């Protein structure tokens, strides 16, 4: 039996994602969750998630009264979630209703995965599940968040934070970044890439919120890294150094480092390693089981290096990754 047929044969095995929609919730993030987790995925050959919306009230007015949501499940559906996406609202100073916070606490206590998009971090923090944990929220609310929840380790310069069983995303569009990250974590890089192509949205957006904080436009020529990144992506299997990047970009290594930090929030070598590891994952998912060959073709050098990097990034070994995401062996 193939992986695809096993998913279709027993819907109870499909991971259930439930979104709590509360008064004044943002419709954009609700749409992102529906697009990533709720739609049928014929391009993947299987259904990825069982998806449901729920609300504490039969009629839920959305942000600024744009429309009223009706016809969704009651809040008790949150108690069935494997992954629970919590409400996100622009009125961050308004306390969340106790019934919603209790649903979040119950989900956390029984081991469900929790996700907060944008101001959803306020909901998680108010429920008390973020104390001592890492999280992010929209840069516009970073100071207010720190003032209210000093026990949370806020990381305001990133698009999302994966802290294991609790994940948070920054501004609205970062909901798609985090959603695709979750798909990648659950189903592998190939499936995540298929979903991102369907969404016409990049599977990885490098950098973080620092790119979007309001600031004066610099008076300087175009310094985009896109050409040198595209050049490097075609040569991941070959030896590449910072000097090679700098020569291709026609700048000094120091200038190259500054541009990577400013535009991508990382270093040239860290970016290169991440791209090579992503390529290695795709090769494993496509059926290559010779890890020395995977390491060589992805530019990671040796199977030992592949094992070290993959375990650091995903928490599992190449063999475990192959069992989880590789082709089914009949």
Q: DSSP secondary structure string, 155-173?
A: -TTSSEEE-SSEEEE-STT
Half-sphere exposure of 128 toward its Cβ, with a 13 Å CA cutoff?
Answer: 7
pLDDT, tens digit (0-9, with 9 covering 90-100), for 71-117: 999 999 999 999 999 988 888 888 899 999 999 999 999 999 999 99
Band of residue 220 on the pLDDT scale cut at 50, 70, 90: very low
285 torsion bin: left (phi>0), alpha (psi -120 to 50), beta (else): alpha
Q: What pLDDT sits at residue 5?
A: 33
Q: Which residue has the tokens 């480092």?
A: 257
Q: How far is CA 293 from the centre of its chain?
A: 29
Say yes or no to pLDDT of 67 above 60: yes
Q: What pLDDT sits at residue 196?
A: 81
- Beta-bridged to residue 20, according to DSSP, are 54
Task: State how far the Cα of 124 lies from the Cα of 117, in Å rounded to an integer.
Answer: 10
Q: How far is CA 326 from the centre of its chain?
A: 21
Q: 60: which 2 tokens?
A: 């839920």
259 three-state secondary structure: helix
Task: State how far the Cα of 118 lies from the Cα of 134, in Å rounded to an integer.
Answer: 14
Task: State how far the Cα of 226 lies from the Cα of 53, in Å rounded to an integer.
Answer: 39
pLDDT, tens digit (0-9, with 9 covering 90-100), for 163-211: 999 999 987 788 888 998 899 889 888 888 888 877 766 555 544 444 3
Say yes or no to pLDDT of 142 above 80: yes
Could you tell me the residue ranges of all domains in the chain?
A: 14-199, 219-330
Residue 270 contacts by C-beta under 8 Å, 6 or more apart in sequence? none
Cβ(186)–Cβ(167) below 8 Å = no
Q: What pLDDT sits at residue 239?
A: 93
Q: What pLDDT sits at residue 199?
A: 76
Band of residue 235 on the pLDDT scale cut at 50, 70, 90: very high
Average pLDDT over residues 267-294: 91
- Within the chain, strands assigned E span 15-20, 49-55, 60-61, 68-69, 73-74, 83-85, 113-117, 134-135, 153-154, 160-162, 166-169
CATH says 14-199 is which class?
alpha beta
Tell me the CATH number for domain 219-330. 1.10.10.60
Q: Within 10 Å of residue 17's Cβ, how many Cβ atoms?
A: 26
Nearest by Cα to 49 from 179, 177, 171:
179
Lowest mean pLDDT: which of 13-27, 62-76, 220-234?
A: 220-234
The phi and psi torsions of 132 (rounded to 5 degrees) equal 75, 5
Q: Which residue has the tokens 């490097």?
A: 232
> Do the domains 14-199 and 219-330 sit in the same CATH topology, yes or no?
no
Q: Within 10 Å of residue 227's Cβ, how many Cβ atoms?
A: 10
Q: Which residue has the tokens 């979630």?
A: 81
End-to-end CA distance of the chain: 7
Band of residue 316 on the pLDDT scale cut at 50, 70, 90: confident
């Amino acid at each position: 039996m193939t992986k695809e047929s096993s998913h279709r044969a027993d819907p109870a095995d499909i991971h259930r994602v439930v979104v709590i929609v509360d008064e004044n919730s943002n419709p954009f993030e609700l749409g992102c969750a529906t697009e990533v987790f709720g739609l049928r995925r014929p391009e993947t050959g299987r259904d990825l998630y069982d998806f449901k919306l729920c609300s504490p009230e039969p009629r839920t007015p959305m942000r600024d009264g744009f429309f009223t949501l009706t016809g969704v499940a009651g809040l008790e559906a949150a108690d069935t979630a494997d992954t629970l996406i919590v409400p996100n609202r622009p009125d961050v100073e308004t306390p969340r209703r106790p019934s919603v916070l209790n649903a979040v606490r119950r989900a956390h206590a029984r081991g469900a995965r929790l996700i907060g998009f944008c101001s959803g971090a306020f909901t998680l923090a108010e429920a008390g599940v973020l104390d001592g944990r890492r999280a992010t929220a929209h840069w516009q609310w970073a100071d207010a968040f720190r003032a209210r929840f000093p026990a949370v380790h806020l990381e305001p310069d990133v698009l999302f934070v994966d802290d294991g069983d609790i994940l948070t995303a920054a501004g609205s569009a970062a909901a798609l970044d985090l959603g695709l990250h979750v798909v990648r974590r659950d189903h592998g890089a190939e499936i995540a890439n298929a979903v991102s192509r369907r969404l016409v949205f990049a599977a990885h957006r490098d950098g973080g919120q620092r790119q979007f904080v309001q600031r004066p436009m610099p008076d300087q020529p175009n310094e985009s890294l896109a050409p040198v990144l595209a050049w490097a992506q075609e040569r991941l299997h070959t030896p590449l150094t910072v000097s090679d990047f700098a020569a291709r970009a026609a700048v000094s290594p120091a200038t190259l480092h500054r541009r990577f930090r400013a535009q991508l929030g990382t270093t040239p070598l860290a970016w290169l390693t991440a791209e090579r590891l992503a390529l290695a994952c795709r090769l494993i998912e496509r059926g290559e089981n010779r890890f020395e060959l995977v390491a060589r073709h992805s530019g990671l050098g040796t199977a030992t290096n592949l094992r070290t990097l993959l375990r650091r990034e995903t928490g599992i070994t190449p063999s475990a990754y192959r069992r989880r995401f590789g082709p089914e062996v009949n």
